[in-house]
A and B are shown apart, each in its own frame.
Chain A
C-alpha cells in the first residue's frame, strides 16, 4: 500500500477503520519485511534512547567542542526549582527536556535524530513530558512515536528533511509538526484533529531559515528546540478545540516545498547570511577557526 499524501492516509484510515499508527505500522513493517511486533520493538528501542538522552542531558553542564553551547539546561532547571513556570510543570519539562537533548547532541552525546540531529529535542520533549504527567503507557507512547514517524515520512516524500535543501522549516519545523501530531494521538484525538494539529504547526513555521553560526548545530538550533516543543503544544490545543487549518495539510506541505526552493541558498545551511553573518556571528566564527 503506497501512501504518499495526507489525504491518501486519511482516506485509507477511514475506509479501513484504522488509526494512523495502525495503518503506518502495518504498511511500514511490510515494506521493511519485518513483523509489526518487530517494528514496534525498534520504535521502543528508539523511545528508550530518547529518554536516556534526556536523563544524561539533564545532569550535564559540559560545554560543546566549540564552546558555543552547554549549561543552559542547568540554568533553566535551577530557575524552575526556585520559581515555577507560569505555565506549569509540563511547560517546565518540555523546555528543559528539549534543551537537555539538544545540548547533549552538541557535546557529541548519544541522541536520536528525529527527524534530524539538529531538531532531536522537539519530539522527545513533548512526547515524554506529557506522557510522564498524564501517565500514558509505553504502548501509547510507541503509538504516538509511530504517528510522528508516519507524518515525517509523508512530508519527506515531498521535501528532503535537510536544512541545506529547504531550510530549518524542514528540520525543526517538521519536528514541531510531528510532535503536534504525536501529542494529538497521545491525547486520543481523531484523525481530523491529528492532521489539523500537524497543519497548524507546520503552517506557522513556513519560511524558517537555516543560518547556523560557524556552520555548527548550536546557534540558533539548540534554543529553537524548546521553543518549537511548546509550539507543538499550541498547535495541539487549537486543533483539539476543532480549529482547522484553512489551508489543507497537503497544500501546506506543497508550500513548504515551494518555500524551500525559493529560499536563498545563503540561508540554507551554508552560513553565508543571517545570524551566521551578523557582527557577533562573524566574531564567533573568527574565534572558532583560530581555536
Chain B
C-alpha cells in the first residue's frame, strides 16, 4: 500500500486555482527547465486535452512559463507573469491540441538554444507530475527524487559502470528505467536516487565512454 505523508495532504502553499492545472504546470516547467539545463532562447509549449481546453482559466499557460523561468508554485508573480520583466528575456509561444492518446493534462516543451530538446510530461493529480519523454526516449521521473539522466551509445556494461559509481557513494537506487532507439544505437537511462550524488561522482560518470548527455536533475523543493 502506498505510504503517503500527512504533509502532502495539508500542502502545498501555492498560487491557485488548481493543483493539477496551476501548481502541476509550474512544477512541470521547473523540472523540464532543469533537464534542459541550458540558456533558453526560444520555447514552445504544446498543451493537450484538458490543459488545452481549460488551461486559460486555470492559469496553466502562466504556470508553465513561470516554471520554465524558475519560479516556485507559491510565487505570486505567476499571476502576471506575461507582463513581468523576467518573461521578456525569452521568446515563448503556446499551441493547443486535442489528442486522446495523451494524458488529459499533457504538455510538450520544445526548448531551443544551444541545442534543441523536446520534453513531454503529464500533470497526474494533486500537483504531482511525471516527465515521460525526452526527445525520442521514454523516461519516468517525478521530481520527487534526485534523478540521473544519461543518453549514450548502446554498448555492453553501461548500467554496471554507472551503478558502480553510485554504489561507491553509498547512494541507493530507487528506480531504473532504460530505453533505446535500436540495438547498438542510441540509448537512455533514467535513475532515481534516494540520496544525493556529489559533483565528484557526477564528474566520474561523465568520464565514462560513449556518453552523449549527462544530466543530474535535483528533486523539486515544493
Known interface pairs A65-B59, A113-B126, A164-B125; A49-B13 also in contact (CB < 8 Å): yes
**Which residues of A123-153 have CB atoms within 8 Å of chain B's CB atoms?**
123, 145-146, 148-150, 152-153
B2, B3, B57, B78 — which one has the most chain A CB atoms within 10 A of its CB? B57
Q: Tell me, yes or no, whether A106 is within 8 Å of chain B by CB.
A: yes
Collect the chain B residues with CB atoms within 8 Å of residue A106's CB.
Answer: 16-17
Chain A contacts of B127 at CB under 8 A? Answer: 113
With beta carbons under 8 angstroms apart, the residue of B19, B50, B79 that contacts A215 is: B50
Binding site for B on A (CB under 8 A): 2, 4, 24, 28, 31-32, 39, 42-43, 45-46, 49, 64-66, 104-118, 120, 123, 145-146, 148-150, 152-153, 156-157, 160-162, 164-165, 178, 214-218, 271, 288
Interface check B12, CB cutoff 8 A? yes
A152 touches B125 (CB 8 A): no
Q: Which 5 pairs between the two chains have the least Cβ-Cβ distance? A: A105-B16, A149-B6, A152-B9, A215-B54, A108-B79
Q: Which residues of A contact B12 (CB under 8 A)?
A: 112-113
B window 47-106: CB within 8 A of A: 50, 53-54, 56-59, 62, 74, 76, 78-79, 104
Which residue numbers of B lie inside 8 Å of A, CB to CB?
1-20, 22-23, 50, 53-54, 56-59, 62, 74, 76, 78-79, 104, 125-127
CA distance A203 to B194 in the complex (A): 39
Known: A113-B14, A146-B6, A218-B17. 7 other contacts (CB 8 A): A108-B17, A108-B59, A112-B11, A113-B127, A116-B126, A161-B126, A215-B50
Q: Is B16 a contact of A120 with CB atoms below 8 Å?
A: yes
Q: Give, as a whole number of angstroms, the nearest-CB distance from A97 to chain B.
A: 16
CB distance from A288 to the nearest CB of B (A): 7
* Closest chain B CB from A28 CB (angstroms): 5
When A65-B57, A108-B78, A112-B14 are in contact, do A153 and B8 touch as well, CB less than 8 Å?
yes
Give the nearest-CB partner of B17 in chain A: A217
Contacts of B59 in A (CB 8 A): 65, 108
Highest count of chain A CB atoms <10 Å: which of B6, B22, B78: B6
Q: What residues of B have a CB within 8 angstroms of the CB of A160 in the complex? A: 125-126
In chain B, what residue has the closest Cβ to A47?
Answer: B10
Return chain A residues, CB-CB under 8 Å to B74: 49, 110
A217 in contact with B18 (CB, 8 Å)? yes
Does B19 lie within 8 Å of A28, measured CB to CB?
no
The verdict on A28 contacting B9 (CB below 8 Å), with A64-B17, A120-B16, A162-B20 known, is: no
Give the distance to chain B from A12, nearest Cβ to Cβ, in Å.
14
Q: Closest residue of chain B to A158, judged by CB?
A: B1
B63 → chain A, closest Cβ, in Å?
A: 9
Query: Which A residues are CB-close (under 8 A) to B20?
Result: 162, 164
- A116 contact set on B, CB distance < 8 A: 19, 126
Cβ of A65 and Cβ of B3 under 8 Å apart?
Answer: no
- B18 near A118 with CB under 8 A, answer yes
Chain A residue contacts of B3, Cβ below 8 A: 2, 31, 157
Contacts of A214 in B (CB 8 A): 54, 57
CA distance A169 to B186 in the complex (A): 47
The reply to whether B7 and A28 form a contact with Cβ atoms under 8 Å apart is yes
| Given A157-B1, A157-B2, A117-B14 contact (CB < 8 Å) | yes
Q: Could you jot down 29 A-B contacts, CB within 8 Å?
A: A2-B3, A28-B6, A28-B7, A31-B3, A31-B5, A32-B5, A32-B7, A42-B7, A45-B13, A64-B57, A108-B15, A109-B76, A110-B15, A110-B74, A111-B16, A112-B10, A112-B11, A113-B23, A114-B11, A116-B19, A116-B126, A157-B2, A160-B125, A164-B104, A165-B125, A214-B54, A215-B50, A216-B17, A216-B58
Nearest-Cβ distance from residue A89 to partner chain B, whole angstroms: 26
Q: Are A111 and B14 in contact (CB under 8 A)?
A: yes
Contact partner of A46 among B5, B11, B22, B125, CB < 8 A? B11
Residues in B neighbouring A153, C-beta threshold 8 A = 4-6, 8-9
